[in-house]
Structure 1
């Protein structure tokens, strides 16, 4: 039988299309600000973590991560033994969640996103920064983890230890530039963590909300001239005093209207109003805090902005003003901290796009304005005339 010749034409494969490039937060395993304490006995690490947490907890939300050593206990607790995947117990002064699933890095970062600092037992967990204990009885254990010493920031000498192990010197070439102190020098250790937390204060950027449709007003409120220039530029100039960088938030179709000397940030979460503008800012830079200012606040002044910035609490989701009319937080004159980004996305996933609802249902730093009139916004022609008269009188 004559063989048939079969011609096979191979399809040309299209080049792999990468996912959209996003600015990623500077996370480690659990958090932006995380340290693994490694090289000591687990009991020593726990005691050291207790001292640090006790000193920081009045100003920062602290989290601790460890691994249980009761390997002989294999029975699942509570309803997990019956097949539940999550078992919550509401205690009098704390809540306990037992979870039967695995925690990958994505789940861990979501879980610890509300915290300000994470300390982990480095004998069991890795972090992007390390505190190394030099103890003779843990020499072998630490040597096994030498490859994990990627960003050592503090070295602690146990009792009777005078020098750093040679293998640590090899693993950490800059070890001589790293602070070294006794593990019993609690004051120095606590000062180290306090100074680190102060240095990690997120940079504050400004965002002028100028992308609204202004349907009730009938024209673009951001373009109205209250103080010698369009209000969006006047607001941006005020923010420059307090912010590292200032952007004007706008719709994509508006971007060409914005002056070149005022950086613009078009909405990438379209159709969500101010909520989308805030999310777009965090998408652009998720590690910055954003001072959000609406462009329909003609009575806003530098004193009101200065009080907001000086009262900023980075441990809160946001620092904001209480509305003198409603008593509710004002989301459009607010400093939104980086930890609010996953929270905003979470509310959006549940079907909510109201920034005020996020503030009401979150831990925020809410202020009373010294000049309540500064929070007055203008949405209608009637309100505009009233503010015109007020400005003329002043």
Structure 2
């Protein structure tokens, strides 16, 4: 084998991050004060619905130890302060893009002062006062999505037109047209909403039940297929989660998604789904929900909050989140991995300790699952009653 043939690392799908997050824009081409004012206006308008962040750098330059805040001056690497109305971390270490992505992973929108930092998309301000500065940053204009004309500007600079051949296809607004700029970002975030896939959890060993729950038939076909069919109406792609040894027995008309995080139960199934498609949201559904119906799924999808890490139902039994009928957003992937790294594999624990959207089911009975023969008997009685009434 030659060095050219050798692949040292496994190839997996990477999330579509930029330098900080999935949705990030550097505002460049105008003084920092104008960038901050614009960022303030956009963040104020969008923050009720989206988690927003801002990235900047200080103009101050000093290597003197006495300029470090608090305990950092004494040699601490990290200092945390509960400021009552907000929380503050001070760090005395360099951060790279991998660490920034972890820190900003739950942000829906990151605005960046492009005079200091770069982002995967750009908003370019045409401002004669910063013309020479913008000319030096042409290499940073890799994905321009909006031009803004300062009050003293009448058209896009010629050197920008030369650097961006399709510049005429890019929208142009006035820097003072704040409402239209906000609408631009609102539209971008709406378009960037992650697609929704479905995942039927059918890889359990059903030890308490004594038989494979996914193969049981409550509605005229095996439950795993019934649930997959139910999800088709609400999601773009539907997969049946299974153990690797189960894959050969599944109907080839359905997409199988074998666990790649093994030995972790439903937790591993959810992680395996994100490993397959890290930029999709996943409507995860256990196969042992024989009373689940379209109305309940429709309620969950209608109430989906993609700004939270997950949208879930409140359990009618204990008031806690129901993790196995939940929409898990892409931003939950690093959260799940973080809990795993701390030794936790309980999806409910993740939901209870994270920013989620939890709703009450219109039909709490639809959330009933079946784990034991006794629960099976009760549910079969309910199903029989429903058939009689219909």
TM-score normalized with structure 2 length: 0.97
Report the counterpart of residue 166 of structure 2 in structure 1: 174
CA offsets 1:103-141 (integer angstroms, 9 cap, x no match): 111000001001111000001111010000001110010
CA positional deviation for 1:15: 4.8
- Distance between the aligned counterparts of 1:276 and 1:163, measured in 2? 54
Report the counterpart of residue 103 of structure 2 in structure 1: 111
CA positional deviation for 1:172: 1.1
Report the counterpart of residue 7 of structure 1 in structure 2: none
Name the SS of the counterpart of 1:218 in structure 2: coil
Report the counterpart of residue 200 of structure 2 in structure 1: 208
CA offsets 1:56-109 (integer angstroms, 9 cap, x no match): 000000000000112247421111111111000001110000011111110000
CA offsets 1:295-349 (integer angstroms, 9 cap, x no match): 0000000000000000000000100001101111000000000000000000000
| Alpha-carbon RMSD | 1.2
- Distance between the aligned counterparts of 2:275 and 2:4, measured in 1? 29
Report the counterpart of residue 55 of structure 1 in structure 2: 45
**Residue 250 of structure 1: which of 226, 242, 247 is its match?**
242
Report the counterpart of residue 362 of structure 1 in structure 2: 354
- Distance between the aligned counterparts of 1:142 and 1:174, measured in 2? 18
Report the counterpart of residue 302 of structure 2 in structure 1: 310
- Distance between the aligned counterparts of 1:12 and 1:132, measured in 2? 46
CA positional deviation for 1:14: 9.3
- Distance between the aligned counterparts of 2:83 and 2:222, measured in 1? 55
Report the counterpart of residue 265 of structure 2 in structure 1: 273
Describe the shift of the 1:134–1:12 C-alpha distance in structure 2 as closer, same or farther (beyond 3 A): closer
Alignment of 1:208-247 (within 5 A): 208-247=200-239
Aligned pairs, how many?
384
Report the counterpart of residue 325 of structure 2 in structure 1: 333
Unmatched segments (≥5 aa) in structure 2 = none
- Distance between the aligned counterparts of 2:327 and 2:90, measured in 1? 34
- Distance between the aligned counterparts of 1:187 and 1:14, measured in 2? 53
Report the counterpart of residue 54 of structure 2 in structure 1: 64
Name the SS of the counterpart of 2:299 in structure 1: helix
Q: Do structure 1's residue 188 and structure 2's residue 180 form an aligned pair?
A: yes
**Residue 128 of structure 1: which of 117, 120, 127 is its match?**
120
Name the SS of the counterpart of 1:156 in structure 2: strand
Name the SS of the counterpart of 2:60 in structure 1: coil
CA positional deviation for 1:170: 1.1
Alignment of 1:315-394 (within 5 A): 315-394=307-386
Report the counterpart of residue 32 of structure 2 in structure 1: 42
Describe the shift of the 1:254–1:186 C-alpha distance in structure 2 as closer, same or farther (beyond 3 A): same
CA positional deviation for 1:17: 2.8
Q: Do structure 1's residue 139 and structure 2's residue 131 form an aligned pair?
A: yes
Q: Do structure 1's residue 21 and structure 2's residue 38 form an aligned pair?
A: no
Report the counterpart of residue 144 of structure 2 in structure 1: 152
Name the SS of the counterpart of 1:113 in structure 2: coil
- Distance between the aligned counterparts of 1:303 and 1:118, measured in 2? 36
Name the SS of the counterpart of 1:232 in structure 2: helix
- Distance between the aligned counterparts of 2:101 and 2:289, measured in 1? 37
Name the SS of the counterpart of 1:324 in structure 2: coil
Name the SS of the counterpart of 2:125 in structure 1: strand
Q: Which has the larger radius of gyration?
A: 1
CA positional deviation for 1:257: 1.0
